[in-house]
Amino acid sequence: MGKINILTKDIYNRIAAGEVVDRPYSALKELVENSLDAGATEISIYVEKGGKQLIKVCDNGCGIEEDDMRKAFIPHATSKVARVEDLDEIATLGFRGEALASISSISRTEIVSATEGNPACRVVCEAGYTGKTEPAALDRGTEVSVHDLFYNTPARMKFLKSDKAEEGDIQNFVTRFILGNPTVSFRYYSEGKLKLQSFGNGLEEAVAQVYGAKVIPQCFKISAEKNGVKISGFIGNQNFFKPNKSYQSLFLNGRYIINNIISSAITNAYAAYLMKRQYPFYVLFVDVPRDMVDVNVHPNKADVRFADGRAVYGAVYSVISGVLDGTARAAEFVTDCVRIPEVRSTAPEGEPSERSEKAQADMSADARSQMGVGDAAGKAAPDELFPPEELFKEEKKPASGIGIPTHEDLSVYENYEEPKFEDREKNYPIYAYYSGLRTENVMGVGEPLYEKPSCNDFPLTAPVKEKPAQDKISCGTFTYKGNLFNTYLVYEIEDSVYLIDQHAAHERLIYDRFKAQMADRKVPRQGMLVPYILSLTPAENSFMEENLMLIRGMGFDIEPFGFNAYRVCEVPADLKDIDLKAFFDDVFSDLAGMKSVKMEDVLKDKIAMSACKHAVKGGMRLTQQEADGLLKEMNYDMGLKCPHGRPVAVKLTKYQIEKMFKRIV
């Protein structure tokens, strides 16, 4: 008997739905794209239980004819493609006719629609079975309601995130629609509450609604065309960076995408100005001829493939680097007469920056002509205009297809390497800041400069172990002998000498005191004269909501303050001088990584490292009374380590010293 089965409609429709609709956000994406394709200028979105219970999209578009209402649920039925030639120049966001069929096969979907001058109709489709067309009440446009998503696919349901996390991803996508369609008015409701709203008054208003009005003065508004590639939007200036990639939005021919070629061009253009773990801010629109791009390379249309990726890379890189570097042509690219500030590169004076060195490389006239850079006279151009060959290899399909720029999604590319917080050698300036060292451009910390320690000296979270009894000294047996370099306290005890790092010792005491206060929920607080306002992206806001009580328990008086914003009114008294921007940037620097560890431990670690700057610094002279007081607070424990894992004290015996001087062979 044959073993090959022909799948029934209900089976293959559910399988196909998994390619197009894998999460609530992807269902909403398809519905909103249909509204935009219908010419809607006003779109309202309603979500309940993170989209699992309800996703409703209402628009004022052209509507659906009564004869087409039931056809809309048929797989591969679409009004946007009629001939095979139409696939070569796709001008709409949707075109395959899969969305409604896929969504309705795994939910209870209802469509109410009315065209101009005609009565409204209603059709319900459940698990792929379409009902009859019925009269309904609606003036114009379309309302699509998706109830109980994945109710008949429990295997998919159990892999969904929590309601808050799913709602955060949905809200993130709504912000992309607001930014990508600045002439369309959006309203977004979650659990009946208005969370986001735009009025369709242009890109400036859209950016202000999503990120706040303070962002715009820190950006360049650009408009340029190079090699047939049009580039416009907002890019952050040379001093404006963010802690993660959720502040980056890229739109190609009006479609939100994540593309490694363009993102690499932008990152390389900012290379001379970026420090470790900083990312550019941009809301960028790139328009290319439709026959130069293939948008049909992924079920979720999250990425595209270019016919000439090098030309796109070169155009984006040359425009953005020209604006940032203040070249002669920058004035042509920047609109609204925005003044280009004079900002120095992070490279030390007298040494060429990485881009300057690369800019000295020769390039053939043919290559310059192909990339659209330089001229036939033989002027040099940056090597970044020749992107790595790996960028143009065929890219792997994303497993999740999620349309928000996280490390999880970008990792599908062959040449993408996720930044690792454990890579302490690479991220040395960050750890140097936390340990009280001074390095170039590291948050303005002014402690003395020491020899660069080994990466093993700075574990992310140093385990606190019980100290052996012999590491403790008796309070009546020590003699203070002075200090070395105003940093190391010298104590003689019987036939041994202890060198105590005053900064590491004091830092550990602050850490222990703060940890004890947290355990007792009795952290003293210091009020702020002016509250600090923290503006977040939807992804950061979702993360904050999940950990809000934990952060409050650590001594921060923090409360919601409008859309995706929080107000900090009090901070822990021991950290009254804390740089809140730097602290929260650090907290949000790796959202994807933090979700896989215990957040309480991460926040304790970050607060402990921030407390480092409040400890006694190396180079500060202590009196004998102050030194003795520090030793007493240590409880005479010579086995302590600072929160970063460095030893507080080092012991030298009389035998070791005499052996150094060859008194003992």
Q: What pLDDT sits at residue 6? A: 65
Q: What pLDDT sits at residue 280? A: 93
Q: What pLDDT sits at residue 84? A: 52
**Which residues sit opposite 129 in a β-bridge?**
126
Question: Is residue 311's pLDDT more than 60?
Answer: yes
Backbone angles phi, psi at 594, to 5 degrees: -70, -25
Average predicted confidence (pLDDT) for the chain: 74
Residues of the chain with CATH 3.30.230.10: 212-394
pLDDT band at residue 418, thresholds of 50, 70 and 90?
A: very low
Give the mean pLDDT of 111-125. 91
Give the mean pLDDT of 374-387. 43
Question: Is residue 182's pLDDT more than 90?
Answer: yes
State pLDDT tens for residues 466-483: 444 446 766 567 889 999
Give the mean pLDDT of 287-311. 78
**Among 132-141, 203-212, 267-276, 414-423, which is the least confidently predicted range?**
414-423
Amino acid at site 324: L
Q: What pLDDT sits at residue 430? A: 30
Give the mean pLDDT of 270-299. 83
Contacts of 323 by beta carbon, 8 Å cutoff, 6+ apart? 220, 222, 235, 330, 333, 334, 340
Q: What pLDDT sits at residue 244? A: 84
Q: What pLDDT sits at residue 373? A: 42
Half-sphere exposure of 184 (CA within 13 A, CB side): 27
State pLDDT tens for residues 17-71: 555 688 899 889 989 988 998 899 999 999 999 999 999 999 999 998 888 888 8
Q: pTM higher than 0.75, yes or no? A: no
Q: Check: CATH 3.30.230.10 for 212-394?
A: yes
> What single string gives the DSSP state of each residue in 378-437?
-----GGGS--GGGGSPPPPPSS---S--HHHHTTSTT-----TT-TTTTHHHHHHHTT-
Angle 464-467-469 (CA atoms, 0-180°, nearest 5)? 170
Percent over 90 (pLDDT), the chain: 25
Residues of the chain with CATH 3.30.565.10: 9-202
CATH of 9-202, one of 3.30.429.10, 3.40.50.150, 3.40.50.300, 3.30.565.10: 3.30.565.10
pLDDT band at residue 611, thresholds of 50, 70 and 90?
A: low
State pLDDT tens for residues 502-540: 998 888 888 888 777 777 667 788 888 899 999 888 778
Count of other CB atoms within 10 angstroms of residue 622: 17
CATH class of 462-665: alpha beta
pLDDT band at residue 1, thresholds of 50, 70 and 90?
A: low
Q: What pLDDT sits at residue 404? A: 38
